[in-house]
Structure 1
Amino acid sequence: MTHTETGHAPMGRRERKKAATRQAIADAALHLFLERGYDDVGIREIADAADVSTTTLFKHFPVKEALVFDEDADHRARLLAAVRERPEGQSIPAALREHALRHRMASPDDDTRFAAFFKLVNSTPALRDYQQGMWLRHADALTTVIAEESGLPPDDPACVALAHFALEAPRAARGHDDPRQVVTRAFDLLECGWPPLPASG
């Protein structure tokens, strides 16, 4: 076995162990949150359930809210891919609408655990705010991709506006009986423009 091979193998094991520990913590946290509610579960309880120290927990998740959203990099990748890899002929707003409905909204067809996760987030102000901040951190990257796909400068105001609109739209659906319909109508506004108001009189 070469020096290079001996050098890389332990690193691979360490990374796998680190990822497994992170996943175990996130799984334990979500189980407890869904069972008892976010506010009624303490960090020490989560650490004990995952069989780690609180120090180890905070190395992986610096704040409690992050325990619920442990795939931020994956969310960002899917968001940008929704624009870059959209079907031929599909508009950018339509691609972003489909992404929002698929990855940011629960539907009656979702499995029970997925729907329970959305209920947990939407019923917990701290988690709602953290989630929104998490999505808005991707605004600059999304603006850049929209501009590239549209052949426009990266600071084009329309691209900036579309990115922020797409990331903010699900917030408008909170509290509505049919949030998916609200998001769909919001994106329809981008495609069709503001409808003329009926004349008064």
Structure 2
Amino acid sequence: MGLRETKKAKTRKLISDIARDLFIEKGYDAVTIVEIAEKAEVAVTTLFNYFPTKESLIFDLEDEIDADILKAIRERKKDQTILDALYRYFFSSKLFNPPNKKTFSGFGKLIRSSPELTSYLRGLWARYENSLAKEIQNDSGVNKMEAECIAKLVLEGVSFACNSPSPKDVLNLTFKILKNGWNK
């Protein structure tokens, strides 16, 4: 990455981190775009060059996560199943190993407290489901409906695990059921 790209990435992260911290501290609705731009020492137009909407400020890793999910499938070991590759990715991801647990907890509470952010997140997961379904179908040769079903079950399970009191335990259970079925 060149100097210009590095500077842009740092500015983007700075804006997003400031927005996240302000949203957690004051509440999503109480924080304005102008306030975020001033604190980040950028113009409002610059902020919108990095983030097209107020909601997108909080989800600065959305494209990276989408790419990483697909990369987990594409770069898996030859003898590894798609489900095993996805499990390994999610289990080791920031979703289940946040660098700062307090901030991550505040982030989760923030999302749950705001209908706008909850809706935005659902839209992101739907986009991830579509990308994942296409990748599963291309890689495995299953039909479109089966690929969509697996993608939805995986990502709904991950979402459920993220919001549970024991995230890694629920993630383990989710993938166990997906791999082995549920015959009760």
TM normalised by structure 1 equals 0.74
Aligned to 2:125: 135
Note the residue ranges of structure 1 that are not aligned, 5 or more in a row: 1-11, 197-201
2:48 partner amino acid: F
Equivalent pair of 1:26/1:68 in contact (CA under 8 Å): yes
Q: What is the distance in 1 between the residues matched to 2:68 and 2:95?
A: 15
Equivalent pair of 1:82/1:96 in contact (CA under 8 Å): yes
Q: 2:35 aligns with which of 45, 63, 72?
A: 45
Q: What is the distance in 2 between the residues matched to 1:128 and 1:42?
A: 18
Q: What does residue range 61-100 of structure 1 map to in structure 2 within 5 Å?
A: 61-100=51-90
Aligned to 1:24: 14
Equivalent pair of 2:95/2:162 in contact (CA under 8 Å): no
SS of residue matched to 1:90? coil
Alignment length (residue pairs): 182
Q: What does residue range 170-189 of structure 1 map to in structure 2 within 5 Å?
A: 170-173=158-161, 176-189=164-177
Q: What is the distance in 1 between the residues matched to 2:66 and 2:138?
A: 17
Work out whether 1:58 is the aligned partner of 2:20: no
SS of residue matched to 1:142? helix
Q: What is the distance in 1 between the residues matched to 2:112 and 2:3?
A: 37
Work out whether 1:111 is the aligned partner of 2:88: no
Which structure's CA Rg is the greater one?
1
Q: What does residue range 134-173 of structure 1 map to in structure 2 within 5 Å?
A: 134-150=124-140, 152=141, 155-173=143-161
TM normalised by structure 2 equals 0.79
Deviations 1:76-129 (A, max 9, x none): 11100111222343321222233333336345x753334443443344443233
In the TM superposition, residue 30 of structure 1 has moved relative to its aligned partner by: 2.0
Aligned to 1:190: 178
Aligned to 1:33: 23
SS of residue matched to 2:55? helix
- Describe the shift of the 1:97–1:176 C-alpha distance in structure 2 as closer, same or farther (beyond 3 A): same
Equivalent pair of 1:142/1:163 in contact (CA under 8 Å): yes
Q: What does residue range 9-20 of structure 1 map to in structure 2 within 5 Å?
A: 15=5, 17-20=7-10
Aligned-residue identity in percent: 38
